[in-house]
Copies of this chain bind each other. A is one copy, B any other.
Amino acid sequence: MKMIKQHSKKTGLPPGTLLHVGNERREQAKVTLVEYTADKCFEKQSCNIQEFLQKIPADTVTWFNIEGIHDISLIETIGKQLNLHVLTLEDIVHSGQRAKFEDFGDYLFIVTKMLRYNKELHQLQSQQVSFVLGRGYLMTFQESDWDVFEIIRLRIRKNSGFVRQMGCDYLCYALIDAIVDHYFEILEHFGDKMEELEEELLTHPSEKTLHKIHIIKRDFVLLRKTIWPLREAVRCLQDDESELLGDDTQLHLRDVHDHTVQIIDTLESSRDLVSGMLEIYLSSVSNKMNSIMKVLTLIATIFIPLTFVTGIFGMNFHTMPELRQGWMYPWGFWLIIIGIVVAMAVYFKKQKWL
């Protein structure tokens, strides 16, 4: 339900007022700087950002990563220094955005959602990551202190792949690609859960199964809401005519676009499959219930006429010849009883009720 709880704090403030809207607040925003060319690579934490921003080197790729978007003054400093539009700053600090892409001429602005499945808390975690891609620099703003970018950092340090040979735009692509690749992991996690559920459904369906199915359904609704807009954003980015994006990077972005389409396809198919599981659950519960009721009712149906027979012979009429006949008790009575049971059993068998 968290999906609709993030906006109202901001209601009533003038546009351009920066107010952080989101969940997590680290003590202090952490700024990490990575600077590299094909030859050398340089990393620094918690640097004096203002100094660096004043003279961004033209010949290197400079990547600022800001963890913690609640430090409004920091964001404002960066905004002033880099000449970012007021709405960009607002979108950065306000964590309830849809994924989107905007071309401000001097820089490109991309908002994405980073997802991971926290295995300790058994919980899906989401945070907003904003990209500002300018001439010679890339800034990434993330809400909290976990990310899926470690592999990119490793590639930069180890100079594996092409990342060190390419510019900022390629780095931006690589990071978005890392985020999208992580969506596949989330899908796999859900794939495993669905397999377990299907197993459970066939062997021992219970009311818990129903709740699991509904939790998965709800998670799919939220995932869809998160991933769907990214497709459009990446498509716009890929088609953008800004000179900040190289042709080759746009070719790579087409690949990312294909991946988002594939994820959405998979999500839609999974939703169909989960709906199918719900149908199976409901009809198997109803079938089980029906078969219990059938057996119980059969037992009652057999014994009620028998009780009627004993009722007859338990009557106190002064003249009941049947009661006096000696052969009547063990033979007559039990024959009637067994006769009734057999007749009913045969009938039920014939009707295929047993």
Contact = CB atoms under 8 A, between A and B. Distances in A.
A155 interface: yes
B293 A8 contact: no
Contacts of A278: 279
A276 B214 contact: yes
A182 B12 CA distance: 9
B184 A11 contact: yes
Contacts of A228: 265
Contacts of A303: 304-305, 307-308
Interface string A321-354: 0011010110001000000000000000001010
Interface stretch (A74-82, A139-147, A190-198): A190-198
A187 B1 CA distance: 11
A131 to B, nearest CB: 16
Interface in A267-305: 269-270, 272-273, 276, 278-280, 282-285, 287, 289-290, 292-301, 303-305
Interface residues of A, number: 116
Given A4-B191, A185-B11, A307-B304, A217 B299 contact: no
Contacts of A187: 4, 7
A188 B162 CA distance: 46
Contacts of A126: none
A160 B317 contact: no
A252 interface: yes
A235 interface: no
A42 to B, nearest CB: 20
A250 to B, nearest CB: 11
Contacts of A306: 308, 311
Contacts of A229: 261, 265
A195 B1 contact: yes
Contact of A319 (B295, B311, B329): B329
A222 B184 CA distance: 17
30 contacts: A1-B191, A3-B270, A5-B191, A10-B181, A11-B184, A14-B161, A14-B162, A14-B174, A15-B255, A16-B162, A97-B258, A97-B262, A214-B276, A214-B279, A218-B276, A221-B273, A225-B265, A225-B269, A283-B285, A289-B290, A296-B300, A297-B300, A300-B300, A307-B308, A313-B315, A315-B333, A317-B323, A317-B333, A319-B326, A320-B329
Q: Which 9 A-B pairs have the closest CB atoms?
A: A14-B161, A310-B311, A7-B184, A12-B151, A313-B315, A4-B191, A317-B329, A11-B181, A314-B314
